[in-house]
Structure formats: C-alpha cells, structure tokens
Amino acid sequence: MILEPLVLTPDHDLPGPLLTELTALYASNHAFYALSGDFPDPHDIRPEQVAKALADELADPDVEVLQARSAGVLVAVVITLAHHPDPADPDPWIGLLLVDAAQQGKGYGRTLAAHVEDRFRVAGRDAVRLAALDDNPGAFAFWTTLGYEVIGHREDRRLGRPCTVLRKVLR
C-alpha cells in the first residue's frame, strides 16, 4: 500500500479524476455517513460535497489528508490533525480513517492506522487520539483491537455528536 498526501491543483482544487475516486470512496460508506450526518443524503454523496468537506478540513494548516492506494487504486483516506485546538491536549489526532466499503476486511484499515502511527512516532509524538461516534460500535471495536484505550467521553466539536475519545501510546 502506498500512502501519500492529497495534492491539490495550483488553484487549491482537487484534480477531477481524484475527486471522482474520493467521491466513490465516500459514497461506498453510506452506512457510516447515515450515522455521522456529515452529508444530507448518505445514499447520494456528490463530488461538490466531498470537495467542500475536504476543503474545510484542509483550511486548517495542522490537517493532513492522506490517500492510500493499492495497485494504483484508491482504497482509503485518512485525515490527521497535528495539534488539537485545545491547548491542553498534547496529542495528534486521527480525524477520519475511511476504507472503501468493498475493500473492508482486507487489512487496509489496520495497515493504514499503523502507517499513521509510525508517521507520528517518527515526528517525535508520544501518543495519538481519536474520537469514535458512540453509535458506531464497529469503529469502537476496530480501534480497541488496535490497542486504543478509552480516556473519556464528550461531544464532537463540529456537530455535537456523542463520542468516545480513545488514545494509544506510541512506543
């Protein structure tokens, strides 16, 4: 699997073919988006909605969007945050790890999480955090299987959804 940053055009747009791939990946996860409420109709996710969501993320200079490819095919995307807006929080965050629904169960999520952890470890970070939606037990099971531990519960900053905050020490 190849992991690389999302590269925008000189006009700060997503290249058309990449936007098409990203839209298909997001749309394949309609069950997650039905839980999250991030898109008005999780069964009809459109390119302009994906472009706006990613532009909103990339407006923060601490955010990095990485694409994961296997045999040239986009299989996943991960959004990381180098510094949380809360100055009392010293850890970087995984904001989203999304594997194409047709590719789930093949180890891409585990591999991608390990790559992200390694990147933070190499950068000298001690731990990484994330928030799993409380109504998404599959995500909670995935992350705890990878060694993430519950450190709290709170609403997410953007939509006020109840979440479980997890943390993993990077040894």
Q: Are 133 and 139 in contact (CB under 8 A)?
A: yes
Secondary structure (3-state) at 72: coil
Q: Which residue, 133, 165, 164, 168, is CA-closest to 148?
A: 168
With a CB cutoff of 8 Å and minimum separation 6, the contacts of 22 are 14, 50, 54, 67, 74, 77
With a CB cutoff of 8 Å and minimum separation 6, the contacts of 126 are 90, 91, 169, 170
What is the distance, to the nearest Å, from the Cα of residue 133 to the centroid of all Cα atoms in its chain? 13
Q: Give tens-digit pLDDT for 118-141.
A: 999 999 999 999 999 999 999 999
**What total of structural domains would you count in the chain?**
1
> Can you give the residue range of the structural domain that contains 133?
2-169
Instruction: Pick 5 or 8 by higher pLDDT.
Output: 5
Output the domain CATH number for residue 112: 3.40.630.30
Q: What pLDDT is recorded for position 158?
A: 80
Q: Give tens-digit pLDDT for 80-107.
A: 999 988 888 999 999 999 999 999 999 9
